[in-house]
Chain A
Amino acid sequence: SQKIEQNSEALNIQEGKTATLTCNYTNYSPAYLQWYRQDPGRGPVFLLLIRENEKEKRKERLKVTFDTTLKQSLFHITASQPADSATYLCALAGETGFQKLVFGTGTRLLVSP
């Protein structure tokens, strides 16, 4: 079955640095991969989607890469700010339906001033 792994340990970085989060997956070849932000006690908020035929996607300070050979996506936040502190989830389309998302456990990012 599908397995999605994100680093469960929190990532602590200094303001202004680039944060890099990793999402690895196995046993599946998704047509696309998504990244969401989740704040405590709130529902996830969509950030970026990258398709299997795309290597890289950018949106403002965010950059996502997708390596279908390594089965890995990297999520970068450049010039990080304390307001970027949150949990970031990667999600793949499920095997049984492209709209049924399967989520990783998320990585908590803490940006210190």
Chain B
Amino acid sequence: GAVVSQHPSRVICKSGTSVKIECRSLDFQATTMFWYRQFPKKSLMLMATSNEGSKATYEQGVEKDKFLINHASLTLSTLTVTSAHPEDSSFYICSAMRGQTNTEAFFGQGTRLTVV
């Protein structure tokens, strides 16, 4: 199957700092990537849809100024958590689908963010 790589897998940062998470599709081009957040024993919650070359589409309740998404190329999307606070601590996961019509999602390995 296709490979999506997410980096870093774990990050600890201080309150008030910003953290950037990268999501790369290694063997296919992804015009669209998705960012999810997952709390312990909870479902994946879609945060935003990252569109190559245009602005991301955020789900209701997700602060776009807090979670900055950039999709500058067909293989890379980044999520920056700005001015992080302890409540931003979570597991962040990206996914991509191969092509515009495919429905099988390939997920990155996830990033565990801890804000202290």
Residues of A with Cβ closer than 8 Å to B? 4, 8, 32, 34, 36, 41-46, 49, 89, 91, 93-94, 97-106
Encode contact with A along B35-59: 1 for CB under 8 Å, 0 otherwise.
Answer: 0000001111010010000000000
Residues of chain A within 8 A (CB-CB) of B102 are 99
| Pairs of residues from A and B, 4 with the lowest C-beta to C-beta distance, nearest first | A43-B107, A105-B43, A103-B44, A103-B43
Minimum CB–CB distance from B94 to chain A (whole Å) comes to 8
| Minimal Cβ-Cβ distance residue in B for A45 | B107
Number of chain B residues close to chain A: CB under 8 A:
26
Instruction: Establish whether residues A98 and B103, one from each chain, have CB atoms under 8 Å apart when the complex forms.
Output: yes
- Considering only residues 18-45 of chain B, those with a C-beta below 8 Å from chain A are 32, 34, 41-44
- A8's closest neighbor in chain B, by CB? B41
Question: Given the known A-B contacts A43-B93, A49-B104, A89-B43, are A99 and B32 also in contact in the complex, defined by CB atoms under 8 Å?
Answer: yes
B1 touches A46 (CB 8 A): yes
Q: Is B6 an interface residue (CB 8 A)?
A: yes
B78 within 8 A of A: no
